[in-house]
Structure 1
């Protein structure tokens, strides 16, 4: 099993819980070995190896899966989830499972979602309102939706890999970036960006998947064990990740970062409405299901 995160990350702890459950429930007959720290390659490379059956399991961000199943791109759309509870009502619904199942056409099978927190903007420059983003050079994940999101908010999108962001903030190549509290802290961005606004514009889940070649070799009884172990590991992941995020937020505040909480999201939602409208026809079914998952 491949993971790009550090060995002490709570998501890797969940990977290990998943492996442990399979080992226990097959009495040691199936043993899953977890390789964190990108030992088996970066995300895209490990996904491609899973397609070929060279790697059995991969834990990856859903953003990396858009090139393998377009449905995963819906998670990049801004402000589609009102809260973590809303997101999980959708992920655990039939519509959420359908997105996991959509990987089968790319020779993989999605087993479960993991939590990855909400993403916020942070900057070297003052950042206390939507107006402050205007004209700032902001690093984004390398996908079209994120570029459109930045443009809609008045910032200048600068796509680059996460590993380059620290030095880009340090040298002023970018003014701002956006990420979860945990990824911000594990990348030490709080040393360079002393202003953060909690707008929670995206909630992009992680995905645990299995190679279709591996899955097809398993008898039905073992498939049930693997699928259930994945679902049962989610509880561990969510508990550990929640604590990790809270600790990361405390570290950000302790580092002297000015944290502004957004009291009214409406100006932000209004600004990005053209982005939602642009992609609505591609994700109408998913967006309808997300709307339905709101607490009535």
Structure 2
């Protein structure tokens, strides 16, 4: 609580997320925070968004970015958006589940066949509807970043089939869907904060975790967890979210500039992501990691009962719409 209080006070007292509109010489300053390392390509994409916003606004607007969880966890950052003490953040869709239940659809395992299918959905009316649905939580969805697919990595034994997960403690984000996914595959889901995961792996608190290649590499988790199984059980997007309170204080022109900067940032981030993933995989292989390419079908069959459990729920309609887009490819 002490850390949370300090972060909030710091934001409220020291960061002017929007300048006084009565003074034409003032710059509209938006504060943005996230939990990733500043070396991450997604941080680079946010820096590019700041550059583009300055360009479009002729330096009338700027974005100040605070990386590496300086201002709190993803959930804490979302809460700061809700009260207007933070302008924007980049979060995984997973923590948004607790604020907007429809976001749970992204946590359904083996729902997307590949990256092409995934991005077809994000760029569709359904993808936009999911962004717009954040309004019920006093949030403004601005766009999606590529976060690739999530796969398992472990310390003592490789995961080649779902049976290898039985009895294994796997770190997950604090998300009902992430927990249920690991449990449906036979593992013991263990929510742990990202910043605490390295030591948790080192001390044997958990036997493994799951994430995309760049995060696995940049976190240096590969130093301890030497087995990386590319089962690609979920494609969970990163989402750039703004405070609805801050958004509504912007003029229509300022909102337009920010939308343009966001679009440019998305294009840039996607261009960086593929090469970053390939480089990360090669780097961990060079460091002695065994990369496993399992038979995904046996994993898909294992989660079939989990899929069936959504029958009759709002998520079932979303699942059907997403599968229909795959058939149309």
Q: Which TM bucket (shorter chain)?
A: over 0.9
Deviation larger for 135-144 or 83-92: 135-144
Larger Rg: 2
Which residue of 2 is the match for residue 241 of structure 1?
A: 273
Contact conserved, 1:129 with 1:197, CA < 8 A, in 2?
Answer: no
Contact conserved, 2:40 with 2:214, CA < 8 A, in 1?
Answer: no
SS at match of 1:293: helix
Which residue of 2 is the match for residue 70 of structure 1?
A: 101
CA apart distance, 1:270? 1.1
1:50 aligns with 2:81: yes
1:119 aligns with 2:150: yes
Instruction: Indicate the structure whose relative CO is greater, using CA pairs within 8 Å and at least 6 residues apart.
Output: 1
Deviation larger for 128-137 or 4-13: 128-137
1:104-134 Cα distance to aligned partner (Å, 9 max, x none) = 1111110100011111111121322333222
Which residue of 2 is the match for residue 182 of structure 1?
A: 214
CA apart distance, 1:170? 2.1
Contact conserved, 1:145 with 1:275, CA < 8 A, in 2?
Answer: no
Distance in 2 separating the partners of 1:175 and 1:218:
47
Which residue of 2 is the match for residue 90 of structure 1?
A: 121
CA apart distance, 1:159? 2.1
Consecutive unaligned residues of structure 2, counting only runs of 5 or more, are: 1-31
Which residue of 1 is the match for residue 38 of structure 2?
A: 7
Distance in 1 separating the partners of 2:180 and 2:76:
26
Normalised to the residue count of structure 1, the TM-score between the two structures is 0.94
Distance in 2 separating the partners of 1:227 and 1:202:
28
Aligned length: 295
Residue 192 (structure 1) aligned to one of 224, 227, 231:
224
1:291 aligns with 2:323: yes
Distance in 2 separating the partners of 1:165 and 1:39:
17
Contact conserved, 1:117 with 1:180, CA < 8 A, in 2?
Answer: yes
CA RMSD for the aligned pairs? 1.6
Which residue of 2 is the match for residue 207 of structure 1?
A: 239
Consecutive unaligned residues of structure 1, counting only runs of 5 or more, are: none
